[in-house]
Structure formats: C-alpha cells, structure tokens
C-alpha cells in the first residue's frame, strides 16, 4: 500500500462523503427511539454505497470506453461536477427537521445521493483508473473502506456527534471541506486538459 495514494484518496472521499455532516443528517432522518432500525439503516446504506463505489470504480472506465468516452473527458466533466458540489457546500444552507417516521432511507437519500452520489462515483473512477500499480489500487480500496467505516461509526454515534459538534461546527467544517474539494476539482480539470493536449 502506498501512503501518499491512500491519503489523497481518503482526503477526496472524506471531503465528498462528509462523514460528520452525513451523521448529522442521518440523526435527523430517523426517530431516536428505535435503535435497531437505525443500526440496520446505517449498515445497509454503508454496504450499498461501498459496493457501488468499488464496482463503479473498477468497471466504470471500461463501460465509458465502450461508449466512446475518453477518461480525460471524464476528468474534466467530473472536475466540473465536483466543483459544483464544492460550490454548494460553501454557499448553500442545509435545513434538517427531525422525522418521527420509521422508513427505509438506506437507498434514498442515504446511499444516493449522500454517500455514493455523482461526485463520489466520479472520484472513484478517476482514482481507480489513475492507479498505476496493484499497490495503488489497494491504497484506493483501503481509502474507500476506511471512509465508509468511519461514516458508519459516526452514523451509529450520531446522537453524540450532534451534541459535540453542533450546528455552528458543522457549518464551519462543511465550508472548509468545500474549499478543499474545489481545489481537488480544479486539479482534475487541469489534469484532463493537460493529458488531452499531450495526446
């Protein structure tokens, strides 16, 4: 495993998935009384999201090639999409209201679009396709597992997370992560144009 590749991948996924923000949203989407239902939803959403990212990351490039789409075009479009996500993180207001309904939220909105949205899926393809060796692929794989493992833990402890960080802390963190994600998005766009010019 390569530490640099792992840290780059983990940072990217951490910024997009936002485990802390996701935990706060998860806390609001389900009533606090039924602990078993909350555990089932958290585990189910995490597994669905991780599988989606790994499948999309490993086979997404081949699927795009079959459609005649170049990976550099994906880098540019993915960068633009990530930048739009980052812009929304920095500028938008998030309003969450506590729900009292016992419902299945594992696929929507937890997995899609929160945990495995377009930004995370795009990043997964870019990172796996950019891996030049087996050790780099393993590093990206471990980064995905660590990101979703951390997200699962924080969702299960969402009540404590809400008490510790509060609304103000979440606002500050979300906007800071948005700036980091914007820089990552610009880097993808730059790399895509650079590679196209070389070709």
pLDDT digits (tens, 9 = 90+) for 18-34: 898 888 878 877 877 77
Average pLDDT over residues 156-173: 82
> 143-156, pLDDT tens digit by residue?
999 999 999 999 99
Residue 52 has what pLDDT? 93
Q: CA-CA distance, 125 to 67, in Å (whole number)?
A: 15
Residue 174 has what pLDDT? 74
> 54-95, pLDDT tens digit by residue?
998 999 878 888 888 887 887 788 778 778 877 877 887 655
Average pLDDT over residues 102-109: 83
For the cut 70, the answer to whether the pLDDT of residue 166 exceeds it is yes
Confidence grade of residue 39 (pLDDT, cut at 50, 70, 90): very high
Share of the chain above pLDDT 90, in %: 31
Nearest one of 179, 185, 175 to 20, comparing CA atoms: 175
Q: CA-CA distance, 192 to 112, in Å (whole number)?
A: 26
Going from N- to C-terminal start, the domains of the chain cover 3-198
Average pLDDT value for the chain: 84
Residue 72 has what pLDDT? 81
Residue 96 has what pLDDT? 52
Nearest one of 123, 121, 104 to 51, comparing CA atoms: 121
Residue 98 has what pLDDT? 53
Are 39 and 173 contacting, i.e. CB atoms less than 8 angstroms apart? no
pTM: 0.75
Share of the chain above pLDDT 70, in %: 95
Average pLDDT over residues 110-137: 86
Contacts of residue 127, defined as CB under 8 A and 6 or more positions apart, other chains included, come to 8, 9, 12, 57, 140, 143
Q: Which range among 34-38, 46-50, 97-101 shows the weakest confidence by mean pLDDT?
A: 97-101
- 3-class secondary structure for the chain? CCHHHHHHHHHHHHHHHCHHHHHHHHHHHCCCCCHHHHHHHHHHHHHHHHHHHHHHHHHHHHHHHHCCCCHHHHHHHHHHHHHHHHHHHHHCCCCCCCCCCCCCCHHHHHHHHHHCCHHHHHHHHHHHHHCCCHHHHHHHHHHHHHHHHHHHHHHHCHHHHHHHHHHHHHHHHHHHHHHHHHHHHHHHHHHHHHHHHHC
């Amino acid at each position: 495993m390569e530490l640099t590749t792992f840290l780059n991948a983990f940072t990217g996924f951490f910024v997009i998935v936002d485990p802390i923000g996701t935990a706060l949203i998860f806390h609001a989407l389900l009533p606090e009384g039924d602990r078993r239902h909350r555990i089932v939803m958290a585990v189910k959403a995490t597994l669905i999201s991780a599988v989606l990212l790994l499948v999309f990351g490993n086979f997404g490039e081949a699927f795009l090639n079959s459609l005649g789409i170049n990976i550099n075009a994906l880098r540019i479009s993915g960068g633009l999409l990530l930048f739009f996500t980052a812009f929304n993180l920095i500028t938008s207001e998030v309003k969450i209201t506590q729900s009292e309904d016992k419902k299945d939220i594992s696929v929507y909105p937890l997995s899609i679009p929160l945990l495995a949205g377009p930004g995370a899926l795009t990043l997964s393809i870019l990172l796996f396709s950019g891996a030049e060796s087996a050790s780099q692929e393993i590093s990206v794989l471990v980064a995905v597992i660590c990101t979703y493992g951390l997200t699962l833990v924080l969702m299960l402890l969402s009540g404590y997370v809400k008490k510790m960080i509060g609304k103000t802390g979440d606002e500050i963190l979300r906007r800071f992560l948005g700036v980091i994600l914007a820089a990552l998005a610009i880097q993808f766009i730059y790399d895509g144009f650079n590679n196209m010019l070389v070709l």
